[in-house]
Amino acid sequence: MAMPIVSINKKRKQKPSLALTLSATGLLIIGGGVAYRLLNQGSLFSQNSLVGANIIPSDALFAVSLTTDSQQWQKLQQFGTKESQAELQKNLLQLRDRFLTSNGYNFEQDIKPWVDEEVTFAILAPDTTQATAKPVAIDSVAVNSQQSMVMVLPVKNSDLAKKILAQPKGLKTGKWTERTYQGIAIKQSEGESGTNLSATLLDGRYLVITDNPKTTERAIDAYKNKTSLATVGGFADNFPKIAENGAFAQFYVNVPTAAKIATTAPNRRLPAQVLAQLQNNQGLAGTVTLESEGIRLKGVSWLKPQSQRLLSLDNTAGNMQERMPAETLMMLSGSNLQRLWGEYVLTSQGNPLSPVSPDQLRSGVKSLTTLDMERDFLSWMKGEFAVSLVPNTPKNNTPGDFRAGLVFMVKVSDRKLAESSLQKLDDVIKTQYQFQIQQGTVAGQPVVNWIGPFGTLTASHGWLDKDIAFLVLGAPITDKIVPKPNKTLASNLSYQQTVPTEPNPTNGQFFLDVERMVNNFTLNTLFPKQKNFLEATRSIGVTTAVSDSRSTRYDIFLSLKKASNSNASSNSNIHPNISSSNR
> What is the reported pLDDT for 294?
95
> What is the reported pLDDT for 9?
41
Question: How many whole angstroms from its chain centre is CA 57?
Answer: 25
Average of per-residue pLDDT across 11-31: 34
Does the pLDDT of residue 31 top 70, yes or no?
Answer: no
Q: Do the Cβ atoms of 492 and 499 come closer than 8 Å?
A: no
> What is the reported pLDDT for 104?
76
> What is the reported pLDDT for 528?
76
Q: What are the distances in angstroms from CA 111 to CA 105, 231, 489, 560, 579?
A: 8, 29, 49, 32, 12
Higher pLDDT pick, 177 / 261: 177
Does the pLDDT of residue 43 top 70, yes or no?
Answer: no
> What is the reported pLDDT for 535?
87
Q: How far is the C-alpha of 302 from the C-alpha of 548, rounded, in Å? A: 9
Q: What is the DSSP string of 236-250?
A: HHHGGGT--TT-SEE
Least confident of 302-306, 331-335, 512-516: 302-306
Q: How far is the C-alpha of 467 from the C-alpha of 415, rounded, in Å? A: 7
> What is the reported pLDDT for 346?
80
Q: How far is the C-alpha of 74 from the C-alpha of 537, rounded, in Å? A: 18
* Tens-digit pLDDT profile for residues 218-261: 999 999 999 999 999 999 999 999 999 889 999 999 988 877 77
Confidence of residue 143 (pLDDT cuts 50, 70, 90): very low
Average of per-residue pLDDT across 50-76: 92
> What is the reported pLDDT for 397?
53
158's enclosing H/E stretch is: helix 158-166
**Which residues, other chains included, contact 421 with Cβ-Cβ below 8 Å and sequence gap of 6+?**
371, 376, 377, 380
Mean pLDDT over each residue of the chain, to the nearest integer: 82
Confidence of residue 407 (pLDDT cuts 50, 70, 90): very high
Does the pLDDT of residue 26 top 60, yes or no?
Answer: no
Q: Work out the burial of residue 71: count CB atoms within 10 Å of its CB; fewer than 13 is exposed, 13-18 middle, 19 or more buried.
A: exposed
Higher pLDDT pick, 148 / 179: 179
Q: How far is the C-alpha of 480 from the C-alpha of 442, rounded, in Å? A: 10
Confidence of residue 141 (pLDDT cuts 50, 70, 90): very low
Confidence of residue 42 (pLDDT cuts 50, 70, 90): very low
* Tens-digit pLDDT profile for residues 111-134: 889 999 999 999 998 765 544 444
> Sign of the C-alpha dihedral, residues 118, 250, 558, 257?
negative
* Tens-digit pLDDT profile for residues 354-406: 778 899 999 999 999 999 999 999 999 999 999 999 999 866 555 557 789 99
Higher pLDDT pick, 356 / 2: 356
**Is residue 143 helix, strand or coil?**
strand
Query: Helices then strands (H, E): number in the chain?
Result: 15, 24
Average of per-residue pLDDT across 80-95: 76
**Is residue 558 helix, strand or coil?**
strand
Higher pLDDT pick, 356 / 566: 356
Average of per-residue pLDDT across 326-330: 97
Q: Work out the burial of residue 36: count CB atoms within 10 Å of its CB; fewer than 13 is exposed, 13-18 middle, 19 or more buried.
A: middle
- State the pairing for strand pair 175-181/184-190: antiparallel
pTM of the model: 0.82
Q: What are the distances in angstroms from CA 84 to CA 442, 515, 561?
A: 46, 15, 11
Amino acid at 403: R
Average of per-residue pLDDT across 527-551: 91
> What is the reported pLDDT for 526?
72
> What is the reported pLDDT for 74?
86
Most trustworthy range by pLDDT among 268-272, 323-327, 526-530:
323-327
What percent helix, strand, coil does the chain show, rounded to 5? 35, 30, 40
Confidence of residue 185 (pLDDT cuts 50, 70, 90): very high
Does the pLDDT of residue 469 top 70, yes or no?
Answer: yes
> What is the reported pLDDT for 488?
97
Q: Is 111 left (phi over 0), alpha (psi -120 to 50) or beta?
A: alpha
Does the pLDDT of residue 108 top 70, yes or no?
Answer: yes
Confidence of residue 146 (pLDDT cuts 50, 70, 90): low
